[in-house]
Structure 1
Amino acid sequence: MVKSGLTVSVCRYPLGMSGGQIQDEDISASSQWSDTTAARYGRLDFEEGDGAWCPEITVEPDNLKEFLQIDLRSLHFITLVGTQGRHAGGIGNEFAQMYKIKYSRDGSRWISWRNRQGKQVIEGNRNAYDIVLKDLEPPIIARFVRFMPVTDHSMNVCMRVELYGCEWLDGLVSYNAPVGGRMNLPNYPVYLNDSVYDGAIIYSMTEGLGQLTDGVCGLDNFTVSHDPNGWPGYDYVGWNNESFPNGFVEIMFEFDRIRNFTTMKVHCSNMFSRHVKAFRQVVCYFRSDSDWETTPLSFSPVVDEKNPSARFVIVSLANHMASAIKCQFYFADAWMLFSEITFQSDTAMYNTTLAPPNTGQTSNTPPDDPTHKVDDSNTRILIGCLVAIIFILVAIIVIMLWRQVWQKMLEKASRQMLDDELTASLSIQSETLGYNHSHNQSNTTNEQEPNSTYEHIFPLGSDYQEPSRLISKLPEFSQRSEESIQDGVPHYAEADIVNLQGVTGSNTYAIPAVTMDLLSGKDVAVEEFPRKLLTFKEKLGEGQFGEVHLCEAEGMQEFMNKEFLFDIAEDQPVLVAVKMLRSDANKNARNDFLKEIKIMSRLKDPNIIRLLAVCIYSDPLCMITEYMENGDLNQFLSRHKPEGQLAQLSNAPTVSFSNLCYMATQIASGMKYLSSLNFVHRDLATRNCLVGKKYTIKIADFGMSRNLYSGDYYRIQGRAVLPIRWMSWESILLGKFTTASDVWAFGVTLWEILNFCKEQPYSQLTDEQVIENTGEFFRDQKRQIYLPQPVLCPDSLYKIMLSCWRRNTKERPSFLEIHRALLEMQS
């Protein structure tokens, strides 16, 4: 999935609403309620003015007159959008429940965005403060973007927005091509039309962009699509030679300005068993002014009848200067299928009277000759070669003199690239995200505003249902419940467990009351740390009673026990997570916070996040814990790929299968330690595992507090927030949390790891269907759905997963057994 040298998955950077790179004058609107709700206040995660852009009038159904518009000043490839309502510190409560997007490349022709299924309306916000991120599938190429609030009833709306993507380097503004055809295979038809084209479509496609520029390269087998909703042939545009008497398909490409073209890359299918081959010849004409050049460029690739794989055919365009290119692709067989066409070019050096505003072009020619080129292509090539030689010589000298320093710089740069990619991934880091403002647990009845974008209510009636009462909806309960509870495995009812309302709203490390009693007589074995030595980096998360911050701690080594070793020099700051109790927290929350410190101070295992120090002599109370430099395991794996040929082609960072097993073994080791203390984690998942150097893993508890993972938690309105996709059936239906239910969650975590965290567990099921599936586990009539075996997962490892998901808790392996089995697999 290559786009001008960038992968689409990485092209997700905030374009400047929240960061300020987009200037106030480039943000406009159809109207405004007041000067303090003008367009310039519609910046994501900003609270200036009255907190957002608000239109002058109430938005009515089917009224699309109101819009917030952003001018990006140049064409951009936009892959993601974020929206937020008006909170204004609790004063405002206006947000857009739905919206549409219109975009333009030239400011005159506006196009309505549609997803790949043709739907225009995008679901927006459910409250005034949470940020909702939506992938644009397909992405759009535009300079101007309009957000248009939509509602099904009369209501006041306000919006804050952000766009994510990267600059569109191709400069392509449209392509004209014949409409794709239909291939009739023996069992089904294959539709090869351009299904996302945004121009006019009659007998041909004109003045638009579509699948040839959407960043998705088709698979080797063109009948299979990347999109689960796509039909056979969905990722390709294809033509049959019987429809073209001249033997070629002509496609014309229009660009934003005159450019110096070096290459064209055409991604073609070559599945010759279906009479599909890459083109045998392409003839290209160039237009720099009003007339087409008479002498075309011709290129003939080598015809490959041995390898059926799809491939990029690279066509040299020999530094032709043009603002439009017309290419005639000649058939090599009955069919010709393209999925992506990209161009590499430099902006031509012309007099600025020809250049659009804000392009950064310079003028080296007299004003009376605006079409004069600064130099010819041979001169540019010569200069480029000389510069390249100079750079190579300098690089050799630097490598010889500063080899060790250079290696350290590369290591630091690679870490920064990982951090940057994490910031650009689908879940954007805290600088561009809002955080949960409340996380109510099953042991509290406090009513809070819903915090989750993905809020759901149990569909079992209007009255609230406790999770442990859900099973009463199952008719078999009276005959089977006694059997399910008396299974020989220690478990603790809600009344038996000390549920600490942690600052992030998590009751992680819930422990039996008897164990808490044993801890109560011991002093906290951690030192007080000077607050002035903590430097704030970013907010990691937020809960009902406090916040979690990423900080740098200076001189932390002096405050640590000798048993704890840092691999960081003493004069270097240490990266730490700081849990901070809110100053307005009640007495119970304060007591819970101190108890949590007491518990954390007793956890001493190389695979469990350690409590390093505290700040409890004054408010706000703080506990300082380890933090790992590579962030959480979910985001770490999602930006990596398994080792193999595909990863090499995309230059993506990789993780080997043995390192995946090594990380899983560490998680099992940490859970073995917790279970030996009768501690129940209750939220084990990759989002709660942190990654350090050399694939070191430590189990933590930050996941619930992060808006990035709000979709992983199912909210019972006003009460519990539950990670149901990781929970055992007895935890959901009976409210029983045990080491055995942690074992179940470990099986799901192992499944995440082997899938490189590319999808959510049970992604094909709704939350309600996940709960219904737990009923099938309870009934045990062989109708329950298990997570499928990952592609990378050998049978022996999948058997471990299945053993973790056994219905009978006493039949599930212990963490000691799991850890031993994983060690044996690595030996």
Structure 2
Amino acid sequence: MLRSLFLILVPPSLSQCRYALGMEDGTIPDSDITASSAWSDSTEAKHGRLSKGEGDGAWCPAGAVFPSASEYLQVDLRSLHFLALVGTQGRHADGHGREFARSYRLRYSRDGRTWITWKDRWGQEVVSGNENTYDVVLKDLGPPIVARYVRFYPLADRVMSVCLRVELYGCLWNDGLLMYTAPVGHVMHLSGSPVYLNDSTYDGSIESGVQFGGLGQLFDGVLGGNDFTETKELRVWPGYDYLGWSREALGQGSVDIEFHFEKTRSFHTMQVHSNNHHTQGVRVFSKVECQFKPGLLLPWSSPPLSLAVPLEDLKDPSSRPISLPLGGRPAQILRCQFAFADRWMLISEISFFSGTFSVLLSFPALLFLLLRSPPLLLLLLSSPPPSAPPSTTTSLAFPQVSLPVAKDDSSNTAILIGCLVGIILLLLAVIAVILWRQYWKKILGKVKEEGFQHDFQNGYHYMSHPLSQLFHPSLHSSIPPFTTSSLLSLPPACGMDLEKGLPPTQEEPPPYPDAPPYPALSPPFPASVPHYAEADIVSLQGVSGNNTYAVPALTSPSPTAADCTPLPELPRHCLVFKEKLGEGQFGEVHLCEIESPQDLPNLEFPFNVRKGRPLLVAVKILRPDASKNARNDFLKEGKILSRLKDPNIISLLGVCVSSDPLCMVTEYMESGDLNQYLSHRVLLDKTGPTHNTPTISYPALIAMASQIASGMKFLSSLNFVHRDLATRNCLRPIKIADFGMSRNLYAGDYYRIQGRAVLPIRWMAWECILMGKFTTASDVWAFGVTLWEMLSVCQEQPYSNLTDEQVIDNAGEFFRDHGRQVYLSRPDVCPQGLYDLMLSCWNRDCKLRPSFAHIHSFLTEDAMNMV
């Protein structure tokens, strides 16, 4: 009795095959990272890990890379992998490093013996590298690589020192295909123009019109279109997406392709993507005949498998995938003959659905094979056992209340426990009510004392009506109470769209120079002083209670439904709840896991996903009872976030909006926020560390500040206003986010108004506090405060010596401009030139504050050399 066991392995979606393979997170062990040489023990190959700073901060070769280009860093992935892109970085070493590679070459091998030099689709070998020591440069590999070993050869155009840190991105090559052999493609002439149908990325050899020993376009994951003369790549020739043969040029009625795999596999389906542009004499093949060879030393199995292709719809010129059942036959080598149905046959992609092959044999079967076919017996016994099927788990998007299990118990234990729990909950509720009443009594007393209780009773919202209105009763008559209906309503035809081209933010004139001084928290403005609320800014009420991104209001007609770009919809069941990160007035923020991100074709997951591990995400959840306007704002915020594609901005990965509650799924950085990271460190001075507390250097701080400035430069280029820039809203690696307001940890950083609206007044420009004017210039002010936080390693709040009311008074001093305003003092580690940059960010005149482009340039080029 012979029984076959197999594990079906579905070929990966190559468009999603962009996982970090383990240089950064340590999945690849030190023993699998080697090099031709190293400067010293502290710059060995094992230190060449992206975004890591062990040793002296990178791998650095001992020999010169100019002009020989013979030094290399090698990574052994232990098995074949499909590589979609690579990342490189120089030696930063907390700012002490200055070495990086401006370019490099890649070589790869599938067996460790034959090495192939990678070339792009236009035959270029040299890959552009880094321009500084700390930025990560990602290079898409087109064509992709299938390899076990990869070598990086740093290059230089002159004598210079280079160092390198790398990461590889891709996924396991489940197909197990080592090579395929096929005839060389031919040239078709259409209207006198040549169409080249050759396999231009094949990495094997060519001899006597046959290519062998390599892989190419038939397995690169790129599907050709209906018109084979058009290509998906730029600057390539017509016909690039297909490998094609002419029956006349080939001199036979079929195309023979042979496939060699690592091990014996059970083949269930072969899928062939073929063109059918029949008006040009191109048709899909009419039949396929396949032979199977279970092992290198074994004969071809008989009889061959013959499969006819249905010809009913061949009048349709569309290209199509053709699935061919292979019946689960075992083979290590597979040879297929594709019969011509017309003058030309064009194939774009071939994939296999197969599984590892093993058998369970009864004693009579063992005896039979021992006598009749010893080689086949040895092959079967040497095959690895099948993998155990994965266990089935149930994923929940949100924490569920566990229901008690009913038990047949005659005792009253359960009743007593329930009563005790109820009494405890009742006591806690009473205590909460008492504390709440005392809190409001204190707040209302303070409000009454300062003369603006009326504002609390009417419930004005701080972003719609700035603090200046709260402090000046003369303006109350013109200000309606805040309601959720005052938020922007979205066009019903396109509930989530924005115009691509946004007009620049309108800068308003500064206050009248002859206006009398503004007495903070005292008599009101004269009637002649205008109200400066940003009427041209659309404010979005975020889930966590803030207005994170403000964008200029649309002046053009509402976009039509045809202009809508749908956000990636994720299935709710894929989100596994881990913990609650925070909450706000309209919703909550949860930490969740996506266990198999590669199974979600709509998920735009980031490059740093760890191999074989779930993807951590932050999920913003709108309360189910939220108003219609809040729901519309939630959708609009999601649409806005989906446009923010920048390495230093948190990315929206998808949404769940098909049912309640509405969710937005964003990146989550495991390393936490910058405030917590810096507050647990001390500055590293020139004498070196003198204690066990973690340290950070001045150059490292400047490098992170430069990345924040880069992200804000991107936001400002789109005329987006963040409104809450601070270290608590910068995650590590540096990505600007907006979770700070929702976390109880940072409740003390916000000034609460009306018991619900909160303002980060210690980071706000004076015109934001007094006039509700939020622009890119006010974000520049907040950046100056953020930079001050970083250089103070977050050891104290900005203006820690002032109360919240005194901070508001200080904003009034900026308005009066009598020279009595207070600035944040210069941190000890901060050079005067950098402090001058901070002071320019806090310029009273918003037009005189620097742009983020200037700030980024200054931090990149000048600030690093000041100490």
Give the counterpart of 1:346 among 355, 371, 386: 355
2-structure distance, mates of 1:504, 1:622: 23
Aligned to 1:538: 732
> Structure 2: which amino acid aligns with 1:256?
E
1-structure distance, mates of 2:860, 2:730: 33
Q: Does residue 112 of structure 2 align to residue 104 of structure 1?
A: no
Change (3 A) 1:618 1:40: closer
Q: Does residue 606 of structure 2 align to residue 423 of structure 1?
A: yes
Q: Counterpart of 1:371 in 2: which secondary structure?
A: helix
TM (normalized to structure 1)? 0.52
2-structure distance, mates of 1:70, 1:9: 23
Aligned to 1:294: 302
Give the counterpart of 2:765 among 591, 596, 609: 596
Q: Counterpart of 1:423 in 2: which secondary structure?
A: coil
Listed one character per residue, the Cα deviations across residues 335-380 of structure 1 (whole Å, up to 9, x for unaligned) are 10001111111112379xxxxxxxxxxxxxx9995333699x9xx9
Aligned to 1:737: none
> Structure 1: which amino acid aligns with 2:341?
A
Change (3 A) 1:64 1:334: same
Q: Is the 8 A contact 1:430 1:538 kept in 2?
A: no
Q: Does residue 246 of structure 2 align to residue 52 of structure 1?
A: no
2-structure distance, mates of 1:31, 1:25: 15
RMSD between aligned residues: 5.6
1-structure distance, mates of 2:217, 2:670: 29
> What is the CA-CA distance between 1:540 and the residue it aligns to?
3.3
Q: Is the 8 A contact 2:11 2:352 kept in 1?
A: no
> What is the CA-CA distance between 1:59 and the residue it aligns to?
1.9
Give the counterpart of 1:337 among 337, 342, 346: 346
> Structure 1: which amino acid aligns with 2:301?
E
Aligned to 2:159: 154
1-structure distance, mates of 2:850, 2:211: 52
Aligned to 2:518: none
> What is the CA-CA distance between 1:140 and the residue it aligns to?
0.5
Aligned to 1:194: 199
Aligned to 1:811: none
> Structure 1: which amino acid aligns with 2:131?
R
Q: Is the 8 A contact 2:48 2:58 kept in 1?
A: yes
Give the counterpart of 1:370 among 371, 374, 378: 378
Q: Counterpart of 2:38 in 1: which secondary structure?
A: coil
Change (3 A) 1:269 1:299: same
Aligned to 2:682: none
> Structure 2: which amino acid aligns with 1:216?
V
Q: Is the 8 A contact 2:767 2:773 kept in 1?
A: no
Q: Counterpart of 2:765 in 1: which secondary structure?
A: helix
> What is the CA-CA distance between 1:90 and the residue it aligns to?
2.5
Q: Counterpart of 1:163 in 2: which secondary structure?
A: strand
2-structure distance, mates of 1:716, 1:47: 21
> What is the CA-CA distance between 1:216 and the residue it aligns to?
0.5
Q: Counterpart of 1:279 in 2: which secondary structure?
A: coil
Q: Counterpart of 1:89 in 2: which secondary structure?
A: helix
Aligned to 2:546: none
Q: Does residue 76 of structure 2 align to residue 75 of structure 1?
A: no
Aligned to 2:744: 554
Superposed, which structure 2 residues align to 1:670-819 within 5 Å?
718=861
Superposed, which structure 2 residues align to 1:165-314 within 5 Å?
165-202=170-207, 203-289=209-295, 290=297, 291-303=299-311, 304-314=313-323
Listed one character per residue, the Cα deviations across residues 93-148 of structure 1 (whole Å, up to 9, x for unaligned) are 11111110000011111000000000000111122222111111111000100001
Listed one character per residue, the Cα deviations across residues 733-777 of structure 1 (whole Å, up to 9, x for unaligned) are xxxxxxxxxxxxxxxxxxxxxxxxxxxxxxxxxxxxxxxxxxxxx
Aligned to 1:655: none
Q: Is the 8 A contact 1:75 1:143 kept in 2?
A: yes
Superposed, which structure 2 residues align to 1:56-135 within 5 Å?
56-61=62-67, 63-135=68-140
Aligned to 2:451: none
Q: Counterpart of 2:284 in 1: which secondary structure?
A: coil
Q: Counterpart of 1:348 in 2: which secondary structure?
A: strand
> What is the CA-CA distance between 1:241 and the residue it aligns to?
1.0
> What is the CA-CA distance between 1:251 and the residue it aligns to?
0.3
- List alignment gaps of at least 5 residues for structure 2: 1-8, 361-373, 396-400, 404-569, 578-591, 609-644, 648-666, 675-698, 718-722, 799-844
Change (3 A) 1:430 1:120: farther
Q: Counterpart of 2:358 in 1: which secondary structure?
A: coil
> What is the CA-CA distance between 1:299 and the residue it aligns to?
1.2
Q: Counterpart of 1:265 in 2: which secondary structure?
A: strand
Superposed, which structure 2 residues align to 1:514-525 within 5 Å?
none
> Structure 2: which amino acid aligns with 1:162?
E
2-structure distance, mates of 1:564, 1:329: 75
Superposed, which structure 2 residues align to 1:373-772 within 5 Å?
409-410=573-574, 416=594, 417=597, 421-424=604-607, 538-541=732-735, 553-554=743-744, 561=752, 594=763, 596=765, 599=768, 603=772, 619-620=794-795, 718=861
TM (normalized to structure 2)? 0.50
2-structure distance, mates of 1:228, 1:66: 33
2-structure distance, mates of 1:409, 1:146: 41
Change (3 A) 1:235 1:112: same
> What is the CA-CA distance between 1:683 and the residue it aligns to?
13
Q: Counterpart of 2:64 in 1: which secondary structure?
A: coil
Name the larger-Rg structure. 2
Aligned residues between the structures: 511
> What is the CA-CA distance between 1:282 and the residue it aligns to?
0.5
Change (3 A) 1:680 1:238: farther
2-structure distance, mates of 1:106, 1:552: 52
> What is the CA-CA distance between 1:621 and the residue it aligns to?
6.0
1-structure distance, mates of 2:166, 2:181: 33
Q: Is the 8 A contact 1:177 1:205 kept in 2?
A: yes
Q: Is the 8 A contact 1:508 1:683 kept in 2?
A: no
Identity %: 38
1-structure distance, mates of 2:770, 2:83: 47
